[in-house]
Amino acid sequence: MPTSDKLLKPKTERPTQKKLEERKNRVKLYYDRGAKDVKELNPGDVVRIKLQDKDKEWVEAKVTEKVDPRSYAVRTEDRMLYRRNRRHAMETKEKFNEKVNEYSVPKKDTGIKNAIIERKSTQFSKNTIDNENSINNGNTSTTGVAA
């Protein structure tokens, strides 16, 4: 049965769309009142970072590079390299004290992209040293644990 196109269109009111836009703008207005821009960090800045979002403790670290507009590569005192969003990095005026031990990552800062490779090579060299020590002590086990 033929009908007109006007009858097939739903009868929705346009004011609903307008009310939705007004409501969105009002929510944005109240959100923007409390929001503030944070200062951009530079390589070498000392910060405190959260290792995990649920942690209450902030760990001291140093910014090594800016990875994305709000993301930074930071190195902690124990020479571990992390990538953190700006909201998880709080700038401080503390002096950065880097802990150095015999198994630390090489002193050359190679950035976030090579951190995984550095960690694996450091872990490999530590296991190799442990295995050599156990062999020299008369243990032939390859795990480095005394039999």
- pTM given for the model: 0.50
61 in Cβ contact with 49 (< 8 Å):
yes
What does the block give as tokens for 112?
């976030």
pLDDT at 124 over 60: no
Q: What is the band of 116 on the pLDDT scale with cuts at 50, 70, 90?
A: very low
Phi, psi of 47 (to 5 degrees): -135, 165
109 three-class SS:
coil
pLDDT in tens, 50-79: 888 788 888 999 999 999 988 999 999 888
